[in-house]
Amino acid sequence: MQWGLRSLSYLKRPVICLCPYGRSASSSESPWYLDKWLLLVEILKEQVSFFQIGHENFQQKPLPVFSTKTTVRQMMALIWASDIYIGFDTGPSHIATALEKPSIVLWDAVRKAPLEEQKQAGFSIAHMQRWAYPQNKNLVILGEKNHEVLSDCIEFAWEFLNSFNPHSARQIVTYMYYKNGHFVRQM
């Protein structure tokens, strides 16, 4: 676990671990394939640092964050050393949960439902809400109109920022809202 702390030591705290990969991750036609991840990083980059983990080719998701190929053990150490986890329902999200890391677990309903339906017919959507823990927030992606899932990710991170360093976080951003196609910060 100390390897994870050393690997992230040059990043300012708090540090958010991103995992935009997995069998149930959004397809390349979805805004959550890349665009929403880029927007998430852009909106929060002044307050937090990010790094990306995953088991697929990092060239597929060119996020402007620290990315490194790891073993499973190293990935576990990085998740442990992070402050928040945001990612699709896949192995790393289960690791973050086991480590009791505050987590946003994304479920792309279009991709996830058929995978769950193969395991237990008729329970695919019910399954998505079954797997939840106090430190997790499960978000189902299914036709966002006004960045609802992205807004929930941002709100979750800001709630944590307030608990991480209440004075500086409250001074930086009170809240954000979506207006005329853009996120607007309200101080």
Q: Cα separation of 103 and 153, whole Å?
A: 9
Per-block mean pLDDT, blocks of 10 residues, the chain (187 long): 91 93 81 90 91 67 86 92 91 90 82 60 53 68 72 83 58 47 53
Helices H / strands E in the chain, number of each: 8, 8
For residue 88, give the nearest of 116, 54, 40, 122 by alpha carbon.
54
Nearest one of 134, 137, 136, 112 to 123, comparing CA atoms: 112
| DSSP tag of 60 | G
* Domains of the chain: residue spans and CATH: 2-143 (3.40.50.2000)
Is this model's pTM higher than 0.85 or not?
Answer: no
Token pair for residue 38? 């880029």
Q: How far apart are CA 152 and CA 144, in angstroms?
A: 12
Provide the pLDDT for residue 169: 42
> What digits encode the pLDDT tens for the residues 154-180?
888 888 777 766 554 444 444 455 555
- Measured CA to CA, the distance from residue 127 to residue 70 in angstroms comes to 30
Instruction: Say whether the peptide bond before residue 92 is cis (omega within 30 degrees of 0).
Output: no
- Burial of residue 79 (number of CB atoms within 10 Å: 0-12, 13-18, 19+): buried
Three-state DSSP state, 88: strand
Three-class DSSP category at 54: coil
